[in-house]
Amino acid sequence: MTHALHYGTGVYEGLRSRKGKLFHGKEHYQRLLQSAELLDFKIPYSVLELENATQLLLNKTYYDFGYIRALAWCGSQSMFVSHRHANVHTAVMVWERPMPYSAHQYRNGLNLHLSSWRRPDPRSAPVHSKASGLYMISAMAKRTSELEGFDDALLLDTKERIAEASSSNIFFVQNGELQTPFPHSFLKGLTRAFVIEQAKMKKISVTEKDIFLHDLPSMEAAFLTGTAVGIVPVASVDTPFGLYTFCPDSITRVIQELHQKAFGL
């Protein structure tokens, strides 16, 4: 019995390792601490302590494609609605977890379904925290999409802007340039940041902007980004207004190759 289980006061990070090498540990743990602060509780460890603990765990195990889950949550010391007096627990776990999709899907893309669920308004939820409770929306959106025969869900926000997939950020290609939704209502992913940085180094223009469903016919390609999924193309988006199809292009392939090289995939 924990406060987090009852009231959703928990945060987490998903990290990757390759043959014992941890990727972006500092950035992930900085975000973990920031996520907790947005939920108004403090994790009793520093970024360096969390990095060291994770590396110690990796040194004692051997996973080819390691997936690390770091959690911090409010415990059972206080079970009232307010977590002001709750104790804070922290845990780090690791297990073998290859990339989740098939080679065919990484080559040709995923089929997405427009979810009826919306990303919450930033005035009603801490949308820039990787808060466990917020992933209820993601879980329900992805489950419904899978039951209907799709690979993942695409979510809008409360103003009908395209936001993200169930747990991945999305990019579009138009006229040789990258476009990605402005993060009004969702987490700015670290893989998203990697793509923006690498694209700029390759002189590929990147724009963060509001993107709507009516913009999809003009988009030539699309792909998802995330620690758990890597870089995976989008083949189609099914909506009540029609099916929008995309074809992985040279920019998508360049981004995939840069990511694979950087992460040893």
User: 188 catalytic, yes or no?
Assistant: no
CA distance 181 to 45: 33
CA distance 237 to 222: 10
Q: N- to C-terminal Cα distance for the chain?
A: 39
CA distance 184 to 5: 27
Element (H, E) at 198: helix 190-201
Letter for the amino acid at 192?
Answer: R
Q: Tell me the CA distances in angstroms from 67 to 98, 100, 115, 220, 255, one per residue in order.
A: 8, 11, 27, 32, 22
Q: Which of 26, 60, 130, 200 is catalytic?
A: 130
CA distance 52 to 264: 21
Q: Could you give the residue numbers annotated as active site?
A: 130
